[in-house]
Amino acid sequence: MSSTNFMGKLLDGVEVEWKSISDVFHLKNGYTPSKSSKEYWTDGTIPWFRMDDIRENGQILGDSFQKVSSSAVKGGKLFPANSIIISTSATIGEHALITVPHLANQRFTCLSLQSSYIDSFNIKFIFYYFFLLAGWCKKNTTMSSFASVDMDGFRKFQIPILCPENPKKSLEIQAEIVRILDAFTDMTSELISELTSELTMRKKQYNYYRDQLFSFEDDEIEWKTLEEVANFSNGKGHEKDITKDGEYIVVNSKFISTDGQVAKYSNKQICPLFINDILLVMSDLPNGKALSKTFIVDVDDRYTLNQRIGGISVKNKNELLPKFLYYFLNRNPQLIKYDNGVDQTNLRKDQILGVQIPILSLTEQKRIVSILDKFDVLINSISKGLPREIELRQKQYEYYRDLLLSFPKSEEIEA
């Protein structure tokens, strides 16, 4: 059934009136209470939301959000319960429905229904409709030090009022739309969760077999420090040299941790790299997943490093295969042990060069590399296929959600 026919049946005989956001909502800017005023942050009971506290689907991340005391409230007025916060700067468009009195930081704009419209709307319906507003926000930003929404246009964004002369029927229609979208949201979330779990299990399986291959019990195995078998250097900060059409791919921790899917480009070569050089992440957030993750260079003179990445080149390839070292150093326990789970971990050069490397016969190194290459192909296939499936499911959900919320702007609803 086409969206026009579906909406025609759902809204048969229903008038749709359009109002601007500024007509329907009170708008307030979020703010951050002074960090130097300890009384604001002591024994707090009022939720204060930041960008990290919400997901893209508007869910609040547990109850780990910060709370402030009543003394931190400007003018003694909280953002009311059953209002929506939406990011209008930085991470544009992310929004959440908040069902308790609260505050939010300066990245958010809070929208609460004006008293004359409280009985006209199901707030969950508005929450879903604001995914369309979020899309508008992302397309209508101004740039200064960071992205921010065109607030004049934001205030003029149109909200549909269904059968304005019959509030009861309007609420019934809104409730039905919410019911459908709630069910579709739950179904999509469950499917994405299953796909994500499958991807996680496959990666754990890969890590298990890799660790087994690197569990050496032979006392006759020779061990050498990385300093003995390889040369080491790291990059420099060069954000000013980054351009979209530059000649060199700047390797950073995000580039490595996403398997090369994210890259920045520089028009100035700072740290040249060559095929079979190994790149290692030297810095990561507490309990992150990128520390000591590796990348092996696949072509000469294409990559350059930022200051948080170490470059490693094998001294004698007749003694140590670069691909073997690449696999061995990847998330190596000798390095990730420095992650204390509290502060950002910054590996020192001496810690990296002190890693003990097993010196096996080239035949054995080739055997291990061959096995891990096959695992790598399998896992990469799954790692690319499942996220693609997750992306498609999410897009499918968004497509049907937007269809359900596409109300005709003409006075007549086509059958």
Mean pLDDT, residues 401-405 taken together: 85
- Out of 199-203, 369-373, 401-405, the most confident range is 369-373
Predicted TM-score of the model (pTM) = 0.65
- In one letter, which amino acid is 149? V
pLDDT, tens digit, for every residue of 209-244? Answer: 888 888 887 677 899 999 999 999 887 765 555 666
Q: Is the confidence at residue 353, as pLDDT, over 80?
A: yes
Give 267 or 205, the one with higher predicted confidence. Answer: 205
Give 19 or 263, the one with higher predicted confidence. Answer: 19
Q: Is the confidence at residue 7, as pLDDT, over 80?
A: no
List C-alpha distances in Å: 330 to 51, 97, 290, 295: 31, 41, 9, 8
Q: What is the mean pLDDT of the chain?
A: 84
Give 339 or 267, the one with higher predicted confidence. Answer: 339
Task: Write the CATH number of the domain with boundaries 3-166.
Answer: 3.90.220.20
Beta carbons of 234 and 309 less than 8 angstroms apart = yes
How far apart CA 133 and CA 131 sit, in angstroms, is: 5
Q: What is the pLDDT of residue 412?
A: 41
What are the beta bridge partners of residue 111? 27, 84
Tokens encoding 127: 């929450």
Residue located via tokens 């419209």: 117
Q: Is the confidence at residue 389, as pLDDT, over 60?
A: yes
Q: What is the pLDDT of residue 413?
A: 37
What are the beta bridge partners of residue 122? none
Q: Is the confidence at residue 272, as pLDDT, over 70?
A: yes
Nearest residue to 297 via CA among 285, 312, 307: 312
What are the beta bridge partners of residue 112? 26
Q: Work out the burial of residue 272: count CB atoms within 10 Å of its CB; fewer than 13 is exposed, 13-18 middle, 19 or more buried.
A: middle
Q: What is the pLDDT of residue 292?
A: 92
Determine which of 55-69, 117-131, 279-293, 311-325 has the lowest per-residue pLDDT on average. Answer: 55-69
pLDDT, tens digit, for every residue of 162-193? Answer: 988 888 999 999 999 999 999 988 888 888 88
- Return the domain boundaries, the chain: 3-166, 222-359
Q: In which band, very low, low, confident or very high, does the pLDDT at 245 lie, cut at 50, 70 and 90? A: low
List C-alpha distances in Å: 244 to 48, 147, 289: 37, 18, 27
Q: Is the confidence at residue 138, as pLDDT, over 80?
A: yes
Pick the CATH number of 222-359 from 3.90.220.20, 3.90.1200.10, 2.120.10.30, 1.10.3720.10: 3.90.220.20
Nearest residue to 322 via CA among 229, 206, 214: 229
Q: Is the confidence at residue 358, as pLDDT, over 90?
A: yes
pLDDT, tens digit, for every residue of 41-77? Answer: 888 889 998 877 876 666 665 566 789 998 888 877 8
Tokens encoding 411: 């006075």
Q: In which band, very low, low, confident or very high, does the pLDDT at 3 lie, cut at 50, 70 and 90? A: very low
Determine which of 35-44, 131-140, 170-179, 276-285 has the lowest per-residue pLDDT on average. Answer: 35-44
Q: What is the pLDDT of residue 316?
A: 95
